[in-house]
A and B are shown apart, each in its own frame.
Chain A
């Protein structure tokens, strides 16, 4: 009896999966499907939501212009929960079930790295909106295209800024211990040594940890001129609050974007609030960017969510626009044709600046340096894009106004 029931269940449930999935995939559809993988739940959900908002706005804009190839565009989302194995499962589902000819995603570098063999095996182009780890573009896969800049450029932009704003001699690197953080650590260590700075400390941490005071005290003992963070949002907020508690006073707080450039970071309820003040970070885009369409995107985003967007949402927005432009050019849903169209693509005017992929699939995008001043991100570097003067060195915690 026991076994009968067991066997029945064993057969019935997988059958249900197959039925449920057939309903989604079967039949000729009247929409053009594009796949999206991101972290809508789990520890990176804030960034997944930023992605979703960016995609939603792009979808509305593009469909208002008539969709693609005469069909309205439909986005098929897959939640990777911040887990690499789920991201890979997402590729399988989107390609085999929903038959999407192109995938956008994921959010974290770790998940994106895990997806690359899967898209390469299935021969479907992957457009990466946000993941910055350098190893993503070193796999040699011809199916990978990255819209954002990589961590190597982050390090160079920060060092260039520091050189022209007081020229510190020592730097400490604090990074979360996954692909994203490690990649930024490696990039900064190598670039700093080349630029003649001494790396006095490298500290890795688990992003889920609630307490970094011991780590910050170790950094304080080394007394670095500058600190460089590679952090996501929750950890970035906690790190800054606890830096004030332990009285860590470097002359520069700098960071590799991400948590330190999230829209939530300078807010009191979702980020570090006043503790975020004066932190310097790289950024890929700001609402005040000079590119045409930036302002309109900012307004639409504000209307949708009630907050100003950070670059993650813009990267999602422009990534969908790029995918659609490539599909138009390819003239159909053939992944090979879309890949070739992406290779040859040249979009001189997007709200994210000009788009063109090099032979490795990397978009040549300018990196900005920003500083939080009065709770707002202000571009302070390079000089031709700067909208405010940097406030350096950072005032010590006990001199700051509460």
Chain B
């Protein structure tokens, strides 16, 4: 990364932190919160889905572990910091189980296995009312009591910054090159001594940890969660789509994807009323048809052609 790029990223971060000085509306902050939250989730997904090229469609498992972890660990009487540590641990435990089994599979079979695991957790949460409250739901403690929306927004910005930094460091490290080598050609990577299974698992562990923190933030903003909200396949899809639309395997891609997708969804809903999903679908089709590498992939290709 060149110096001016670092400066740009840094100033973007500082500017983002200053946004609440200008934007006071809770609703606008909530939309911006969603954008940064999904940017962070997309970046976390990107480690596994983008850099390592393993299409995970089950990230709702870690997201839900975060949201439910916060609700259940605090209900059990744990202080907040301990609950946060525990929910990250819980998500990493799930990652260990899911990754340990699923990474033996490749391509579409891996994707199917991740969906299956997330759905198992979804069904378990629905059908264990004594533990999770079932579909009647469970209250989540408020992380912030005053200026809630502003605080949640800032937390989402910090989470995005943290995942960006982690992604940047990983993409420049030996670990990151291993991941990309596995994506490009797993056999070659194996033949030069990369332990593919372990490398992919490590990426998933990092990814799950960040995703769980995102889930905890999301659950606490809504104060109340049900399984269909935080463990559904919709969440898994949204996380994957954000990263792929923006450009999987690039640093800026998930951020761009989240900004486009989440703001488009809100704008379309206001303008087009019931037709909003139709327009939203059209947007996705256009991107897939004309920018198969995602928005940042397309931008990169144009830059390359110019040079």
Contact = CB atoms under 8 A, between A and B. Distances in A.
A114 B229 contact: yes
B260 A7 contact: no
Nearest to B9: A3
Contact of B263 (A13, A24, A78): A13
A3 B264 CA distance: 21
A179 B137 contact: yes
A97 interface: yes
Interface stretch (A88-96, A161-169, A256-264, A384-392): A88-96
A144 to B, nearest CB: 13
Interface stretch (A115-123, A152-160, A328-336): A115-123
B184 interface: no
Of all A-B residue pairs in the complex, the 9 with the closest CB atoms, nearest first, are A6-B252, A96-B27, A117-B223, A96-B26, A13-B263, A178-B135, A92-B27, A13-B259, A97-B27
Contacts of B31: 14, 17, 89
A116 B139 CA distance: 11
A85 B303 contact: no
B32 interface: yes
Contacts of B25: 21, 25, 96-97
A4 B8 contact: yes
A357 interface: no
Given A17-B267, A110-B228, A9 B26 contact: no
Given A20-B271, A178-B135, 6 more contacts: A13-B260, A14-B263, A21-B27, A89-B31, A96-B26, A183-B136
Interface in B129-158: 129, 134-137, 139, 148-149
B286 to A, nearest CB: 16
B237 interface: no
B277 A81 contact: yes
Given A79-B276, A95-B26, A96-B28, A9 B260 contact: yes
Interface range on chain A (Cβ under 8 Å from partner) = 35 or more
Interface string A274-286: 0000000000000
Given A9-B260, A204-B127, A88 B274 contact: no
A64 interface: no
Nearest to B39: A10
A-side interface mostly? helix
Contacts of A89: 30-31, 34
Contacts of A84: 222, 226, 228-229
Interface in B251-277: 251-252, 255-256, 259-260, 263-264, 266-267, 269-271, 273-274, 276-277
Nearest to A84: B229
A77 B252 contact: no
Given A16-B267, A18-B23, A118 B223 contact: yes
A350 interface: no
Nearest to A49: B274
A16 B28 CA distance: 11
B234 interface: yes
A135 to B, nearest CB: 5
A135 B224 CA distance: 13
Given A97-B25, A97-B27, A110-B135, A10 B228 contact: no
A11 B259 CA distance: 8
Contact of B222 (A20, A96, A118): A118
Interface in B6-42: 8-9, 12, 15, 23, 25-28, 30-32, 34-35
A121 B255 contact: no
B187 interface: no
A223 interface: no
Given A85-B229, A182-B136, A78 B269 contact: yes
A10 B149 CA distance: 20
B270 A2 contact: no
Contacts of B274: 40-41, 79
A371 B264 CA distance: 46
B126 interface: yes
B97 interface: no
A263 B221 CA distance: 37
A113 B223 CA distance: 11
B288 interface: no
26 contacts: A1-B299, A1-B303, A2-B250, A3-B9, A5-B252, A6-B252, A11-B15, A13-B260, A14-B263, A21-B266, A21-B270, A25-B25, A79-B276, A88-B222, A92-B27, A96-B30, A97-B27, A110-B135, A110-B228, A116-B224, A133-B136, A177-B126, A178-B228, A181-B135, A182-B129, A182-B134
